[in-house]
Amino acid sequence: MYKIPLSKPDITQKEINAVSEVLKTSYLSLGKKYKEFEKIVAQFAKVKYAVAVNSGTSGLHLIIKALGIKNGDEVITTPFSFIASSNCILYEGAKPVFVDIDEKTFNIDVSKIEEKITSKTKAILAVDVFSQPADWEKLKEIAQKHNLFLIEDSAEALGSEYNGKKCGSFGDAAVFAFYPNKQITTGEGGIILTDNKDIADFCKSSANQGRAEENGKWLEHVRLGYNYRIDEMSCALGIAQMKRIKEILKKRANVAKLYSKKLKEIKDVETPYIEGQNKLSWFVYVVKLSEDLAGNKRDQIIKKMAERGVQCGNYFQTIHLQPFYKKEFGYKEGDFPVAENVSKRTLALPFYSNLKEKEINFAVKNLKEVIGEIK
Ligand SMILES: Cc1ncc(COP(=O)(O)O)c(C=O)c1O
């Protein structure tokens, strides 16, 4: 048991009551909560349609299918992300084509995209990594110029803003994810966001075994579908969390602010960068260590922090250097040098909305001591 875990959901009596109420009804799936959850998230992100599913990964898979991306197609994406943002492309037999990242934002480097576009390229899938919005204006411009779809993996960015507009509202379709380490949780869960009715209808039907959208017969299946449905308890939890979203995001911003202030005294630690007018919803709090603490030393820091009761993480290992990707596609060290360098130097500190100031002090004090020991 850690004294301070890496993350923790923010669950109050309101959430407990909301889930309990569902259990007192006979509707544990495909009921009112499902529709209400979709509505509340669509309104929040200011998009026309939302389709709730059982994970962010399922949502990404359905978007790839809805856009008709298939075997032989290429999708441009980032190697610095959680593996699902690339795996969803492989599910349909298409090829993820990685583009290195920007060393400050950790997001796809838009200046390197066009050189990777070929006649097979169908889409760009960009990620708002660690809740930092990708450069959506530039991404839209490139996508329009080359007639490509734009997919937004906003799994980590519910509530983030780019030029005053919510993440999840850029591109042809987007996802949020609700695993318990996210800004809000449904236990497991995700949601697809789009302004395009055809995409929304396709995703809704595909998530429900390919049943026809409205008025379809229960045992009539009009397309290849999946069971990617989210249950009513999860949706009730999600609604209760969304009703508290302002409070949750405020608390997270406050924790981030305290960390950034207190970490100033450690010269080997770079606090998170915020690009331009971006507003971050703070999925995690990830610092970048100095070059001489990269790799093994960073890993030793994580181990020593754990021994002191403070759980830290090595977000993210690059996707192209994951064992499966190396074996399957022959990627090697040096293929995406910026992402690899960032990946060896980043350290996620314990971060959640109810993290107390004295716990932040404890984490920072220990980090300072551990870095001192390792240097
Ligand atoms: C960038 C990114 N994409 C996709 C996902 C997948 O979401 P889920 O875990 O709900 O399948 C995650 C989840 O952590 C993520 O961080």
**Prior bond to 202 cis, omega within 30?**
no
Q: Which atom of ligand 1 is nearest to the CA of 60?
A: 4
For the cut 70, the answer to whether the pLDDT of residue 333 exceeds it is yes
Distance, CA 306 to ligand 1 centroid (Å)? 25
Cβ of 347: how many Cβ atoms within 10 Å? 21
Q: Which two tokens stand for residue 296?
A: 């093994």
Q: Residue 375 Cα, ligand 1 centroid: separation in angstroms?
A: 34
> Atom 16, ligand 1: which residue's CA is nearest?
82
Least confident of 27-36, 205-214, 278-287, 297-306: 205-214
**Three-class DSSP category at 346:** strand
The CB of 55 under 6 Å from ligand 1? The reply is yes
Å from CA of 24 to ligand 1 middle: 31
Please state which of the ranges 108-122, 133-147, 217-231, 249-263 shows the lowest mean pLDDT. Answer: 217-231
pLDDT-wise least confident of 128-132, 217-221, 231-235: 217-221
What contacts 250, CB < 8 A, 6 or more positions away? none
pLDDT at 367 over 70: yes
Q: Residue 261 — pLDDT band, cuts 50, 70, 90?
A: very high
Q: Is the pLDDT of residue 81 over 80?
A: yes
C-alpha 56 – ligand 1 centre gap (Å): 5
Whether the per-residue pLDDT at 213 is higher than 80: the answer is no
Sign (positive/negative) of CA torsion 79, 167, 239, 259? positive
Q: How far is the CA of 57 from the centre of ligand 1 (A)?
A: 6
How far apart are the CA of 191 and the centre of ligand 1, in A? Answer: 11
Ligand 1 atom, smallest distance to 59 CA: 11
Asked if residue 81 has its Cβ within 6 Å of ligand 1, the reply is yes
When pLDDT is averaged across residues 75-79 and rounded to a whole number, the result is: 98
pLDDT of residue 70 exceeding 90, the answer is yes
CA of 172 to the centre of ligand 1 (A): 18
Q: Which atom of ligand 1 is nearest to the CA of 128?
A: 1
Kindly tell me if the per-residue pLDDT of 328 is higher than 90: yes
C-alpha 216 to ligand 1 mean position (Å): 31
Strands (E), 159-245: 161-162, 165-166, 173-177, 190-194
Average pLDDT of span 10-37: 97
Residue 1 has pLDDT above 80, yes or no: no
Atom of ligand 1 nearest to the CA of 189: 10
Q: Is the pLDDT of residue 215 over 80?
A: no
The residues, ordered by sequence, that sit 6+ positions from 280 with a Cβ below 8 Å of its Cβ are 130, 131, 132, 160, 253, 256, 272, 274
Mean pLDDT in the chain? Answer: 97
Query: Ligand 1 pocket, 319 CB below 6 A?
Result: no
Average pLDDT, integer, range 111-135: 98
DSSP string, 62-109: HHHHHTT--TT-EEEE-SSS-THHHHHHHHTT-EEEE--B-TTT-SB-
358 C-beta neighbours (distance < 10 Å), count = 8
Residue nearest to atom 7 of ligand 1 (CA): 56
pLDDT at 218: 79
**Ligand 1 atom with minimal separation from the 85 CA:** 3
**pLDDT by residue (tens digit) across 334-349?**
999 999 999 999 999 9
Structure confidence at residue 375 as a pLDDT band (50, 70, 90): confident
Please give the distance, rounded to the nearest whole angstrom, from the Cα atom of residue 324 to the centre of ligand 1: 18
Place of tokens 């220990």: 366
Q: What is the pLDDT of residue 317?
A: 96
- Please give the average per-residue pLDDT across 223-240, as a whole number: 98
Q: How confident is the model at residue 212 (pLDDT cuts 50, 70, 90)?
A: confident
**Section 186-214 average pLDDT:** 95
Rounded to whole angstroms, the Cα distance separating 202 from 111 reads 33
Say if CB 120 and CB 269 are below 8 A apart: no
Question: Mean per-residue pLDDT for 69-79?
Answer: 98
User: Ligand 1 pocket: which of 82, 176, 281 to mutate (most atoms <8 Å of CB)?
Assistant: 82
Tokens, residue 167: 């993440």
Residue 217 pLDDT greater than 80, yes or no: no
Q: Residue range 86-109: average pLDDT?
A: 98
Mean pLDDT, residues 238-258: 98
The pLDDT of 39-54, averaged and rounded, is: 98
For residue 220, the model assigns a pLDDT of 86
pLDDT bucket at 122, cuts 50 / 70 / 90 = very high
Asked if residue 177 has its Cβ within 6 Å of ligand 1, the reply is yes
CA distance 93 to 272: 36
